[in-house]
Chain A
Amino acid sequence: GAGVSQSPRYKVAKRGQDVALRCDPISGHVSLFWYQQALGQGPEFLTYFQNEAQLDKSGLPSDRFFAERPEGSVSTLKIQRTQQEDSAVYLCASSLVHPGQAGELFFGEGSRLTVL
C-alpha cells in the first residue's frame, strides 16, 4: 500500500511479557516517528529517526522502551517487561524530508497494546 503500515494492529500481552511493534513507513521517507496515544488523549512523542540514526529518544518513558531502524526504512518499537501503564495505541509516522522543511507527517493506523 501507499501509506504507513503498522503491525500488529492489536496486541494483548500479559504483564511482564516483551512485545515488538513494527512500522513500515512510506517508501523513501527519511524521517520516522513513534508516538504513544493513551485512551482519550492526544499523541505524545516518543522518538525520532532520520534515516537509520535515532536523533531523539527523549520521549521514551523508561529504559524498557527501545526503538530501532537499522536500514533506514522499517522500524521496530520494543517494550520489555510490559506494565499495565504501557497500554496505549502506538502510532508510527513518516515524512519525506526533515519535518522542519515543511514535510507533511503521515500517520499509520497504530498498534493497540493492551497489557493485562
Chain B
Amino acid sequence: QQQVKQSPQSLIVQKGGISIINCAYENTAFDYFPWYQQFPGKGPALLIAIRPDVSEKKEGRFTISFNKSAKQFSLHIMDSQPGDSATYFCAARDDYKLSFGAGTTVTVRA
C-alpha cells in the first residue's frame, strides 16, 4: 500500500505563479522528508528536505511546510519558471528506506 499520498496528480501554473503540492503520511517512524524533482528520461534529483522537528524550510524559491500533528507536508514553488516544469515527488524515510508519493507533474506556462 502507498505509505505517502500525494496530490494533485498534475497542475498547470502561469509563469510567476505559485505551485503547491501536498503530501500526507501515516507512519510515525518517518524521520526525514525529501522532495525530488524528475525530468523526463532522468533520475530523481534531491530538491529540498526537512526533518519533523522543523515546521518550515526555505531554499530559494522552494519552501517546505511541515505539520507533524496532521502528518502532512507540502512544497511551495514561488515565482514558477518554465524550467520548473517537471515531475515532483515527495518522499519519507524510515531508517534507510524511502517511500515515494505518486508524483505531481507541474507545467509552467510562459
Binding site for B on A (CB under 8 A): 4, 31, 33, 35, 40-45, 48, 55-56, 91, 93, 98-100, 102, 104-105, 107-110
Q: Which residues of B contact A (CB under 8 A)?
A: 4, 6, 32, 34, 36, 41-46, 89, 91, 93, 95-103
8 contacts between A and B (CB under 8 A): A40-B102, A42-B4, A42-B6, A42-B89, A42-B100, A100-B95, A100-B96, A107-B36
Q: Is there an interface contact between A107 and B101, defined as CB atoms closer than 8 Å?
A: no
Does the CB pair A107–B45 fall under 8 Å? Answer: yes
B43 in contact with A48 (CB, 8 Å): no
Chain B residues touching A, majority SS:
strand
Cross-chain contact of A48 among B41, B45, B97, B103 (Cβ < 8 A)? B97
A43 touches B97 (CB 8 A): no
Min CB gap B10→A, angstroms: 10
Given contacts A42-B89, A42-B102, contact A48 B42 (CB under 8 A): no
Contact at A42–B103, with CB atoms within 8 Å? yes
Q: Which residues of A contact B36 (CB under 8 A)?
A: 107
Besides A45-B99, A98-B96, 4 more A-B contacts (Cβ < 8 Å) are A40-B103, A91-B44, A100-B96, A107-B43
B95 contacts which chain A residues (CB < 8 A)?
Answer: 99-100
A33 — which chain B residues lie within 8 A by C-beta?
96
Judge whether A45 and B97 touch: CB under 8 Å.
yes
Determine which of B41, B43, B89, B102 lies in contact with A4 in the assembled complex, contact meaning CB atoms within 8 Å.
Answer: B43
